């Protein structure tokens, strides 16, 4: 194999390449590597994709029918024996695994689809969005704001469309890319504009420590001096973590949004922000000190999503030099479908609203969800796999709200309940064996009164139970069962 090193996807050309992971992104890399003449192997943690130890790759990208290729699947323990030039890791594979550390020490290139794509698109107008929560909504809203500013937009990355799909479409004016901490860790080129939504402990099993998690997040912004960075001012951690980037001229400029800065949420009454079935009331989005009338009452649930909208508007201005057409933006937001398992009302029955927020796998997400229903009785279904994340902020929120019953699941849920007991909280805590059991118990608890049954786990789904999608499905089926006879 050639030892010539190139940047971007070209580094795979005619080289010996292993792709670790066979999700949508991994399959996209496999397709391009084969097209570049690479000798491709697949690496997968057991169990393998098939009993035969091969991965059947189906390529119909050229529209010429499906081409089947059987690629050898190797255990990560075999990486040392493979004489690789390049290892391409999928987002779920920690860069801190010992197998990867050994390869780095021998000079094997370690990269990712996101890293290669950013190298190849370094001259394009790209917004890179990361954070512990709010990435997806901010990415969607940024794409809509850019479209309302009159430019064509490609939206991809962690939000679902593999970033490598942009190699196969015509050139667009701008690109909005959601980047997870996993994806950010291997980046060597930064986007033109960055957005940091918030920081809170998450994925510590992958990163090892919170400091390393933050460093891996901020790596997305570490590779160009002319980067303009938008930071959510409501996140003290995000502001503190980017103070040094701003003060040492590592980036061109930091621009706060949300509660401070030129684009911020403006509460337009002296009362608390209220919640209706259609979104927020008693608020405005102020731009340069003036409340924008077209965004009054925009259909976004929760204060955190208004912050996300401020981030989207800020990013649009930084990238294009102008603000979006706010009337067009408001209409686009009103017409958009809710993002799956992100504060989605799936039924309302006998005064009880059932809300799916299954994607909230960290406490910060669940706190934001609880705040969206302030003033209402809430039955919170939370818990799952305990990966050691602090629940102190969540328990303080539950205690302060005073209107929440916790139905807790798994090791993480048990620890939430134990921490509440340790502070002698008045929050009622009930252990349940499944999401379905929690729904049944919550309905009985709310019988005869208005309230919300909220699935917002604050922890990841245990591997034995699948993913957040499986929990979302279980929740929806349980809601259908309790609501269909009478609603």
Within the chain, what is the greatest distance between any pair of CA atoms? 72
CATH architecture of 8-111: 3-Layer(aba) Sandwich (3.40)
Long-range CB contacts (< 8 A, 24+ apart) of 292-298?
A: 292/326, 294/326, 294/327, 294/329, 294/330, 295/326, 295/329, 295/330, 296/268, 298/330, 298/333, 298/334
Where are the CATH 3.40.1190.10 domain residues in the chain? 115-335
Looking at the domain 344-483, which fold is it? 3.90.190
Return the CATH superfamily for domain 115-335.
Mur-like, catalytic domain (3.40.1190.10)
Other Cβ atoms less than 10 A from the Cβ of 397: the count is 17
Low-confidence ranges of the chain (pLDDT < 70): 1-5, 47-69, 160, 201-208, 247-249, 268-282
Digit-coded pLDDT (tens) for 194-224: 999 998 866 666 666 888 889 999 999 999 9
For residue 69, the model assigns a pLDDT of 66
* pTM attached to this predicted model: 0.86
* pLDDT value for 206: 61
**Measured distance CA(307)–CA(304) in Å, rounded:** 5
Residue 181: closest CA among 205, 162, 161: 205
Question: CA–CA distance from 251 to each of 70, 220, 223, 247, 308 (Å)?
Answer: 46, 12, 9, 9, 22
């Amino acid at each position: 194999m050639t030892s010539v090193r190139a940047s971007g996807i070209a580094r795979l050309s005619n080289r010996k390449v292993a792709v670790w992971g066979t999700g949508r992104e991994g399959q996209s890399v496999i397709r391009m590597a084969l097209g570049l003449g690479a000798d491709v192997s697949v690496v997968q943690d057991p169990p393998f994709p098939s009993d035969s130890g091969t991965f059947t790759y189906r390529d119909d990208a050229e529209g010429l029918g499906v081409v089947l290729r059987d690629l050898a699947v190797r255990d990560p323990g075999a990486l040392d024996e493979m004489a690789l030039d390049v290892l391409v890791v999928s987002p779920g594979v920690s860069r801190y695994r010992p197998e990867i550390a050994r390869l780095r020490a021998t000079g094997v290139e370690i990269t990712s689809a996101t890293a290669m794509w950013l190298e190849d698109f370094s001259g394009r107008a790209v917004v890179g969005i990361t954070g512990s929560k709010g990435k997806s909504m901010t990415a969607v809203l940024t794409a809509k704001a850019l479209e309302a500013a009159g430019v064509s937009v490609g939206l991809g990355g962690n939000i679902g469309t593999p970033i490598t799909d942009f190699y196969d479409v015509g050139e667009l004016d701008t690109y909005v890319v959601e980047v997870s901490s996993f994806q950010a860790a291997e980046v060597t080129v930064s986007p033109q504009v960055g957005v940091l939504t918030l920081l809170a402990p998450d994925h510590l099993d992958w990163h090892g420590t919170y400091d390393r998690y933050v460093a891996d997040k901020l790596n997305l912004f570490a590779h160009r001096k002319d980067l303009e960075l938008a930071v959510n001012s409501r996140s003290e951690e995000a502001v503190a973590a980017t103070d040094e980037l701003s003060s040492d001229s590592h980036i061109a400029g930091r621009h706060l949004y949300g509660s401070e800065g030129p684009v911020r949420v403006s509460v337009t009454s002296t009362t608390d922000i209220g919640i209706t079935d259609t979104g927020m009331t008693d608020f405005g989005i102020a731009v340069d000190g003036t409340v924008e009338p077209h965004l009054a009452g925009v259909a976004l649930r929760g204060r955190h999503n208004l912050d996300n909208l401020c981030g989207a508007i800020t990013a649009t201005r930084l990238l294009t030099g102008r603000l979006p057409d706010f009337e067009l933006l408001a209409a686009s937001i009103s017409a958009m479908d809710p993002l799956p398992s992100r504060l989605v009302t799936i039924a309302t029955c006998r005064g009880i609203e059932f809300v799916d927020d299954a994607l909230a796998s960290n406490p910060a997400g669940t706190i934001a969800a609880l705040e969206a229903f302030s003033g209402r009785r809430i039955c919170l279904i939370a818990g799952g796999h305990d990966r050691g994340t602090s629940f102190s902020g969540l328990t303080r929120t539950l205690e302060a709200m005073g209107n929440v019953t916790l139905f807790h699941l798994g090791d993480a849920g048990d620890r939430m309940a134990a921490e509440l007991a340790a502070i002698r909280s008045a929050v009622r805590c009930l252990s349940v064996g499944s999401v379905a059991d929690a729904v049944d118990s919550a309905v009985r608890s709310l019988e005869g009164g208005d309230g919300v049954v909220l699935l917002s786990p604050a922890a990841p789904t245990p591997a034995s139970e699948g993913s957040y999608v499986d929990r979302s499905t279980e929740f929806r089926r349980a809601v259908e069962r309790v609501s269909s006879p009478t609603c």
